[in-house]
Structure 1
Amino acid sequence: MIQLIAIDLDGTLLNDRKQITKQTQAVLKAARASGVRIVLCSGRPLRGIDRYLRVLGLTNPGDFAVTYNGGLVQKSDSGEVISEKILTRDQLLSLYALSQERDLPMNFIDREKVYCPPYPKQKPSLYGTVMKTMPFVKADMEHLPADIRINKAVFCISEKILTPAIAEIPQSYRKNYTMVKSHPYLLEILNKDADKGKALQTLTHFLGLASSEVMAIGDEENDLAMIRFAGLGIAMGNAIDALKAEAQFVTKTNEQEGVAYAIEKYVLKR
C-alpha cells in the first residue's frame, strides 16, 4: 500500500503556467486525508517551493520536502535539516575550472543566496531568469571561505550551447559529482551522494517506510533516481523518453492533470 507520494514540481505537479490546478489540489487533499504523506521533491530551495507547500497545506509538523535535487531533506514547517550533502570549496574551484575550460557560465547556491563568479563575456548565465526567490551576489573565487557550504552548482545557458558542452565533460567529473539536467537549458551539479532517490531513501528510513510504499512522479532526468527507488514509478505524459522507459506507468501530461490522474488510479482507486 502506498504511504508516501514523492512529486516533482516543474513539468509534473505544476502546469505550464506554474499553477497547481484546483482538481489536483483536491486529489492531493483526499490522499492526505486517507493517511498518505505528500512530499514535494524539487531542484529548488525550500523558499522556492514555499508558496506551493502553503497552497497544499504541507507546512505542518510532520511534513517534509526534498530540495536541491536531493541535496537537502528538510522539515517543511521549520526548515530543520534531516540530511544535507554539500559541495566543498575545493570542489567549487574544480567545477569553476571546468566552466572556464568549457566556456560556460557557472552559479553556485547555498541555502540563502546565489553566487555569481565572473562569466564568459559572450555567454552570461541565464540562471537569473530561473531563480526568482533568492538574492544574487558576486563571488570572488580567489577568496572563498574555507568552510563554505554549497548545495549545488549550475550551468544555465541555451540548450544549443549546453547540450554539446555536457557531452565534452570529462569522465573524471562525472564520477565525482551527480550531474543532472532539470531543464534543457540547466545542468545541476551536486555532491555525488545527492539525488532525489537517495534523499527519498534517507527520508523513508527516517519515517520507517519501505521503498515499496513509495510512489514517485516526475518528468525529467533529475527524477530518474527517485523513479527507480520507488516501488511505483510514474512518468508524466510529457516526460523524457528515458524516464518513461523506467516507469511502471505513464500518466497524462502536466497540462492534463497527470498527477491527479495517477493518484486517483493507484492511491484513491476511483
Structure 2
Amino acid sequence: MKIAASDYDGTLFRNEEISPADAEGVRHWRAAGNKFGVVTGRDYGMLAPQLKYYGIESDYAVCNNGGLICRADGTPLWQGEIPLTVLAEMVKDPGVRRSFHFAFSAADTTYLYHESEGSWISREARQWDFAIVPIEEQDILSLPQIHQFSLGYPDPEEALEVSKRINARFGDVVHAYPNRCSVDVTPKGISKEQGIRKLVAIMGWSDPEIFSIGDEINDLPMIEAFNGFTVDTARAAIKAKARSVYAGVGRMLEANI
C-alpha cells in the first residue's frame, strides 16, 4: 500500500491555487489504487471547500498539525486536547497578544476572537463559506475540546520568536509550530508525523509506504520520519532535509506511482 501525505499551504496550494498538474497527479495516484490525503495546519472546515473547488478527492485528512484526524468526509476519528486553563493563561502572554487573531480549533467548529487588521481568518471564511463562531476572552474556559490554538503575525521572524517563547513557557503541555506568518499551538507530542502514524493505526493499514511532502518547519517531522520530499519553492533549510525536490505535488506522485 502506498499513502501520499501532502502539506497544503505552500505545497499543494501554491500561488493562491492548486495547479491543474497537481490535481491531475492526485487523480492518477488514486486511480492506481493508492491513498492520498492532506496533512495540514488548517482546520478541516478551512480545507474541505478548497479541495472541492479544485476537484481534489482524498482518502483522509490529518488537520491541525496532527491534532485532528478525519475521514475524507470530515468525520472525526481522533483529536488531541489542550487544557482550557492553559489556553486562558497563554492568551495573556505579551507575545501571544501581538497576534492578529486567536483561533481555537474544535472537531467541527473554529472559535475566534481578538481579531484585528492583518488577520486572514474572517476573509477566508467569507471567501470559502466556512463558519466561525465569535467568542470573548471570558468564554475560553467554556469551550469544548480544543486541539489547536492558532495565531498570526506580520512576518515569519515574529512567528518564530513567539513560537520559541510559547515553547519555553508552556512546553511541558503544548508545542508551538511556526508556519510562515502563523503559529499553530498543539498538545505536546502532536505532530504531522504522529498524525500519520495514528491514522495508519486507526485505519488498520498494514505496513504502508508513506510518501510525505511539505515545505515548512511544521512539515519537518513527517519529512524526516518518512524520508519525504519537498517542493522547489521551499527554503534551503527544508530542501536540505528532503530526499528529493519536485516542481510540485503532482510531479512527486507521478514519479512514485
User: Per the shorter chain, which TM-score range?
Assistant: 0.7 to 0.9
2:88 to 84, 93, 105: 93
Give the aligned partner of residue 31 of structure 2.
33
1:82 to 57, 77, 83: 77
Indicate how the Cα distance of structure 1 residues 88 and 247 shifts in structure 2: closer, same or farther if over 3 A, else same: same
Give the aligned partner of residue 43 of structure 1.
41
Give the aligned partner of residue 4 of structure 2.
5
- Is 2:26 the counterpart of 1:22? no
SS of the residue corresponding to residue 13 of structure 1 reads: coil
Cα-to-partner distance string for 1:131-180 (whole Å, 9 max, x where unaligned): 42544444333343456312311221211644444444462423421211
Residue 95 (structure 1) shift: 1.4
- Paired AA for residue 2 in structure 2: Q
Indicate how the Cα distance of structure 1 residues 36 and 127 shifts in structure 2: closer, same or farther if over 3 A, else same: same
Matches within 5 A, 1:41-80: 41-54=39-52, 55-58=55-58, 63-77=59-73, 79-80=74-75
Could you tell me how far apart the structure 2 residues matched to 1:56 and 1:128 are? 22
Amino-acid identity (%): 20
Give the aligned partner of residue 255 of structure 1.
none
SS of the residue corresponding to residue 70 of structure 2 reads: strand
1:202 to 183, 198, 202: 198
- Is 2:235 the counterpart of 1:245? no
SS of the residue corresponding to residue 150 of structure 2 reads: strand
Could you tell me how far apart the structure 2 residues matched to 1:28 and 1:158 are? 33
Could you tell me how far apart the structure 2 residues matched to 1:46 and 1:143 are? 23
1:220 to 216, 226, 229: 216
- Paired AA for residue 6 in structure 2: I
Count matched residues: 247
* Partners of 2:28 and 2:254 within 8 A in 1: no
* Partners of 1:113 and 1:134 within 8 A in 2: no
Give the aligned partner of residue 225 of structure 2.
229
- Paired AA for residue 182 in structure 1: N
- Paired AA for residue 38 in structure 2: L
Cα-to-partner distance string for 1:199-257 (whole Å, 9 max, x where unaligned): 0001122332336x100010011111111222x400111123332222111222xxxxx
Larger Rg over CA atoms = 1
Residue 82 (structure 1) shift: 1.7
Could you tell me how far apart the structure 2 residues matched to 1:37 and 1:43 are? 20
SS of the residue corresponding to residue 40 of structure 1 reads: strand
Residue 52 (structure 1) shift: 4.2
- Paired AA for residue 79 in structure 2: E
Could you tell me how far apart the structure 2 residues matched to 1:23 and 1:147 are? 41
Indicate how the Cα distance of structure 1 residues 15 and 193 shifts in structure 2: closer, same or farther if over 3 A, else same: same
TM-score, normalised by the number of residues in structure 1: 0.80
* Partners of 2:88 and 2:141 within 8 A in 1: no
Indicate how the Cα distance of structure 1 residues 5 and 161 shifts in structure 2: closer, same or farther if over 3 A, else same: closer
Give the aligned partner of residue 179 of structure 1.
176
* Partners of 1:116 and 1:136 within 8 A in 2: no
Could you tell me how far apart the structure 1 residues matched to 2:225 and 2:193 are? 6
Give the aligned partner of residue 193 of structure 1.
189
Could you tell me how far apart the structure 2 residues matched to 1:112 and 1:102 are? 22
Could you tell me how far apart the structure 1 residues matched to 2:5 and 2:96 are? 35
Cα-to-partner distance string for 1:101-144 (whole Å, 9 max, x where unaligned): 65423513223133204x7xxx7562436642544444333343
Indicate how the Cα distance of structure 1 residues 209 and 24 shifts in structure 2: closer, same or farther if over 3 A, else same: same
Could you tell me how far apart the structure 2 residues matched to 1:182 and 1:210 are? 30
Listed as ranges, the gaps of 5+ residues in structure 1 are 253-257
SS of the residue corresponding to residue 219 of structure 1 reads: coil
Residue 57 (structure 1) shift: 2.6
Could you tell me how far apart the structure 1 residues matched to 2:238 and 2:3 are? 20
